[in-house]
Structure 1
Amino acid sequence: MSRVSELRVLWEDGGLAFCRGWFDNVEGEQTSVLVALPASEHPTKSVLDRLAHEYSLRDVLDGERTVRPLELVRDQDRTMLVFKDPGGESFGPSLGTQMEIARFLRVAIAIVEAIGSVHKAGLIHKDIKPTNFLFDSATGAVRLTGFGIASRLPRERQAAPPEVIAGTLAYMAPEQTGRMNRSIDSRSDLYSCGVSFYQMLTGKLPFSATEPAEWIHCHIARQPVAPSAVLNTIPPQLSAIVMRLLAKTADERYQTALGLLADLRRCEAEWTSTGTITPFALGTRDIPDRLIIPERLYGREPETRQLLAAFDRVVAMGTAELVLLSGYSGIGKSSLVNELQKAMVLRHGMFTSGKFDQNKRNIPYATLAQAFQSLVRPLLGKPKVELDQWCEALSEALGQNAQLILQLV
């Protein structure tokens, strides 16, 4: 007999269905619960891994501002993550309309309090979006869920562009795409928070795209229209806060949830008392509680210019070019080469890399295989028509060597 019964689907997202139902606990009592389970009868390993990972964080999540897992249940060939039901509904279904300013400020403050509690616990959520917030209209409480890809690290570094991007592209920080040569940290969550605020205020996302490559290009290269320019009823000061959150470079955003919270509370106080928000300097209380070292390349401007110039020549002339880069181990060759990623995204190019690992010297062609794999695997997710075009182009370019490359990949 199933321990979970009467499931009612609330919403689906990222291969998971989120439901309300009843759960028989170890004492035999029935309690109301939220349940996350695969939306498909044949879930992928990544979907199951997300459920297991969120459950592993149960002792880190406070339960006051987050939805805390109770149990990971494998029941009748299904894997389900069971949460205590805090009440409230997801913001997801209500999106598409502009939120009234007073309500926005109340909700935004509660959202940032939840994000701040997660950061204080040493987590980066990495999938902040309205769907992952439960709002209880009776109490005004907001709780954050969706920790399936959260990281325990203060910073997370991607050595190369990921083959499958984890997270939701419409809300993803530029550095989270893996194309910026920058680490993911708590400020990445604040960018996603900015996208959510933009949508709550204007009723639409700051960018519009249909393909993953388009979303990546938007987040890295395009500047959104300010919310106050979309709707003149949005106070310019609120618009400025959102635009600061949406800065392409993490160093130019709010550095902490507490700094953002202080500005939002000041806005709410003024709006409540006067119905207006007078301009003030942003981020005066935005002081990080740890040293954040900017991720910039210092003293490599000439080399960077040479690489970018070579790339520009290839784009302009359509011919291949080889650049040899030498230096001692650990001197920063990979970081220098990875600076090309952003330039390639701006030109809708593709970046691939392979690294000579001193621990894999006995594996033939390991570096070439790594490079080809990171190039080919993202293509597998493209529409069939586009995939067929790539197959034809690669087959024509590789000729008789195609089978050899296929064995490597």
Structure 2
Amino acid sequence: MIGRVIAGRYEVQAVVGTGGMAVVYRAWDRQSSRMVAIKVLRPEFEQDQEFVRRFSREAEAAAKMSHENIVNLLDVGKEDNLRYIVMEYIDGKTLKDLIRQQGRIPADQAVRMAIRTLAAVDHAHKNGIVHRDIKPQNILVDQKGTVKVADFGIARLKTAQTTRIDDKQNSALGSVHYFSPEQASGEVADEKSDLYSMGVVLYEMLTGEVPFDGDTAVSVALKHVSEEPRSMRSLNGSISRGLDEVVGRALSKDADKRYQTAAEFAGDLRKALTRPKGGFVTYPLTKEEQEKLREQKRRLLLKRKKRLRLMSRISAAAVGLAVKDAGFKPSAEYAYSEDAPKGQVIRQSVAAGSRRKQGTGILLTVSAGSQWVFFEDMRGRTLDDARNALIELGVPEERISLGYVASDQPPGAVAGQMPEPGWITRETDVQLIVSAETVKMPTLTGLTLEGAKALAEANGLIVQEVQEGYSADAPAGTVIAQSIAPDAPVAVGSGITLTISQSRETMYYPAASYTMVVPLDQIEVRLELTSPSGREFDGYVGTLDKGTHRIELSSTEQGLHTLREYLDGVLMAETKVMFE
């Protein structure tokens, strides 16, 4: 193959990787004058329909995706009996090679790489693709440290595929050390299987070891099903408790207890960097557990209401009559009590046995019941149902606020809540996050402020904040940046921030643009710059949603600047930017 020219344009130069069904070559693309990678199906599998189907499935899966952290597909073809896939060439190494060289990846670096990998996994899942073979060997790291997910050879698109473990050959469809329990049991792998595998990858990055090992594929698979992994902290004491808890949930045997989306997993990883002591990881209740808890609460509430009504009538009313009969003028105030039932008098302003003039006032403090209530998981319920449930618990209506987001839930259903499900006091401020009708975010850059406001309002959006910035070529008074990327789904009624080009008058400011990828919604972004003279300043500060953003930057100095990219206060990248 070395020296062969495929399709009249791809000049094969060297082997860069081999696998069970294919060989990957480095090649020079004469047409585009760049290096590419070509995956070629092994000749012995040309007549094997299963391998041909898997090879075609990889091409189909890759064609459905375009993401900064996924190896992009460039071409697919067949020449004579040679089937091939052309992909972008990544000059770097696999994450497995990196782990072998370093032994362990520092926690901050490992988390940053994991968040980027999860962004790629999230993109695949949203395109209906389950990778099913997430492992360090399939994660490439280029010279700049950028991660790229590769090898969708056994990805599942629409039809379910089962997992095969062949102990005689000690091989498997997928890689047994990174199997989810359901894959190890021969069941269908879904999105949560990829997240389990990602948990195994992160475990290995941080400790240098996989959570389960054995002499045969079957023995390792059985451990995934029946054994609990050792705490990472027992292997590496420098790992924070928060990070250990996050990986622990990702490796849950029960898929319903794991992270349900890649975005949720990435969100807790970000928390682990700022909350190393942990305590923020929560496990969702199963549907059966939720229903059982709801029924228990309903019965307890009915029983308690009956008892409290009776106690209230007996205690407060009886005490009031008794006080009146004694010649006092009673008044009442209410206070929470963890000991006395609602309606029972717990304090009085005049001590028992004291003598006072007839008609003296007496203040009775009456129990309002416990201040603690259980805030259930409201997700999926209608807004009216969730609000009524909170009011029935005794949460004042003025304590309930609403937020609206674009989500997978039907419009009007609760998509999230703050705080998370659990015990809260009746005085806790509660926010129900409701799934709203969504629109595609229009492109506002290049428009005047008035034009941008009109277009935003026509789409049901609100311009909440306008800030000034500099652009090398945009006319003064036009929009040069928007807080939500064009074409992104956004809830009707959402507020957006626009950056308007400031008039330069006669002063010229060197400028540059920076393209960045935001992996999750509502991320606080700060781009810190250091000029050639050593001056440090913020080039951009704002909140951005998930997507690719091009940000215009300006400086008072020309030349090469150092740019540091912070997401939610965490340094994610450092690079050089030329201001001209």
Instruction: Return the TM-score normalized by structure 1.
Output: 0.61
Q: Provide the residue aligned with 1:112 in structure 2.
A: 118
Task: Give unmatched runs, 5+ long, in structure 2.
Answer: 167-171, 289-580
- Report the secondary structure of 2:63's partner residue: coil
Q: Provide the residue aligned with 2:252 in structure 1.
A: 247
Letter in 2 for 1:31: R
Deviations 1:347-394 (A, max 9, x none): xxxxxxxxxxxxxxxxxxxxxxxxxxxxxxxxxxxxxxxxxxxxxxxx
Matched, 1:80 2:84: yes
Matched, 1:62 2:66: yes
Q: 1:53 offset after TM fit, Å? A: 1.0
Q: 1:228 offset after TM fit, Å? A: 0.9
Q: State the alpha-carbon separation in 1 of the partners of residues 232 and 267 from structure 2.
A: 20
Q: State the alpha-carbon separation in 2 of the partners of residues 280 and 12 from structure 1.
A: 44
Equivalenced residue count is 275
- Report the secondary structure of 2:44's partner residue: coil
Cα–Cα, structure 1 residues 283 and 47, in superposed 2: closer, same or farther, change >3 Å?
Answer: farther
Q: 1:113 offset after TM fit, Å? A: 1.1
Instruction: Work out the percentage of aligned pairs sharing the same amino acid.
Output: 26
Q: Provide the residue aligned with 1:282 in structure 2.
A: 281
Please tell me whether Structure 1 or Structure 2 has the larger radius of gyration of its CA atoms: 2
Which of residues 162, 174, 198 is equivalent to 1:167? 174
Cα–Cα, structure 1 residues 106 and 162, in superposed 2: closer, same or farther, change >3 Å?
Answer: closer
Q: 1:58 offset after TM fit, Å? A: 3.5
Q: State the alpha-carbon separation in 2 of the partners of residues 35 and 218 from structure 1.
A: 36
Mapping 1:73-152, distance limit 5 Å: 73-75=77-79, 77-96=81-100, 97-138=103-144, 140-152=145-157
Q: State the alpha-carbon separation in 1 of the partners of residues 174 and 269 from structure 2.
A: 26
Q: 1:220 offset after TM fit, Å? A: 0.8
Cα–Cα, structure 1 residues 257 and 143, in superposed 2: closer, same or farther, change >3 Å?
Answer: same
Cα–Cα, structure 1 residues 262 and 36, in superposed 2: closer, same or farther, change >3 Å?
Answer: same
Cα–Cα, structure 1 residues 162 and 281, in superposed 2: closer, same or farther, change >3 Å?
Answer: same
- Report the secondary structure of 1:184's partner residue: coil
Matched, 1:42 2:36: no
- Report the secondary structure of 1:42's partner residue: helix
Q: Provide the residue aligned with 2:243 in structure 1.
A: 238
Q: 1:201 offset after TM fit, Å? A: 0.8
Q: 1:163 offset after TM fit, Å? A: 7.1
Cα–Cα, structure 1 residues 9 and 91, in superposed 2: closer, same or farther, change >3 Å?
Answer: farther
Q: 1:262 offset after TM fit, Å? A: 0.8
Letter in 2 for 1:80: Y
- Report the secondary structure of 2:56's partner residue: helix
Cα–Cα, structure 1 residues 7 and 204, in superposed 2: closer, same or farther, change >3 Å?
Answer: farther
Matched, 1:268 2:273: yes
Q: 1:198 offset after TM fit, Å? A: 1.0
- Report the secondary structure of 1:123's partner residue: coil
Q: Provide the residue aligned with 2:398 in structure 1.
A: none
Letter in 2 for 1:65: N
Mapping 1:287-298, distance limit 5 Å: none
Q: 1:49 offset after TM fit, Å? A: 2.8
Q: State the alpha-carbon separation in 1 of the partners of residues 165 and 201 from structure 2.
A: 26
Q: Provide the residue aligned with 1:16 in structure 2.
A: 22
Does the 8 Å contact 2:135/2:198 carry over to 1? Answer: yes
Letter in 1 for 2:36: V
Q: Provide the residue aligned with 2:199 in structure 1.
A: 194
Q: State the alpha-carbon separation in 2 of the partners of residues 282 and 48 from structure 1.
A: 43
Which of residues 11, 33, 46 is equivalent to 1:30? 33
**Root mean square deviation of aligned Cα:** 2.9
Q: State the alpha-carbon separation in 1 of the partners of residues 160 and 124 from structure 2.
A: 16
Q: 1:166 offset after TM fit, Å? A: 2.2
Cα–Cα, structure 1 residues 283 and 125, in superposed 2: closer, same or farther, change >3 Å?
Answer: farther
Structure with greater proportional helix content: 1
Q: State the alpha-carbon separation in 2 of the partners of residues 89 and 35 from structure 1.
A: 16
Q: Provide the residue aligned with 1:332 in structure 2.
A: none
Q: State the alpha-carbon separation in 2 of the partners of residues 283 and 30 from structure 1.
A: 51
- Report the secondary structure of 2:75's partner residue: strand
Q: 1:128 offset after TM fit, Å? A: 0.5
Letter in 2 for 1:278: K
- Between 1 and 2, higher relative CO (CA 8 Å, sep ≥ 6) is seen in 1
Q: 1:143 offset after TM fit, Å? A: 1.7
Does the 8 Å contact 1:162/1:178 carry over to 2? Answer: no
Cα–Cα, structure 1 residues 283 and 70, in superposed 2: closer, same or farther, change >3 Å?
Answer: farther
Q: State the alpha-carbon separation in 2 of the partners of residues 10 and 207 from structure 1.
A: 29
Letter in 2 for 1:131: Q
Does the 8 Å contact 2:165/2:217 carry over to 1? Answer: no
Instruction: Return the TM-score normalized by structure 2.
Output: 0.44
Does the 8 Å contact 1:58/1:70 carry over to 2? Answer: no
- Report the secondary structure of 1:261's partner residue: helix
Letter in 2 for 1:117: H
Q: 1:202 offset after TM fit, Å? A: 0.9
Q: Provide the residue aligned with 1:320 in structure 2.
A: none
Q: State the alpha-carbon separation in 1 of the partners of residues 126 and 185 from structure 2.
A: 25
Q: State the alpha-carbon separation in 2 of the partners of residues 58 and 109 from structure 1.
A: 21
Q: Provide the residue aligned with 2:5 in structure 1.
A: 2
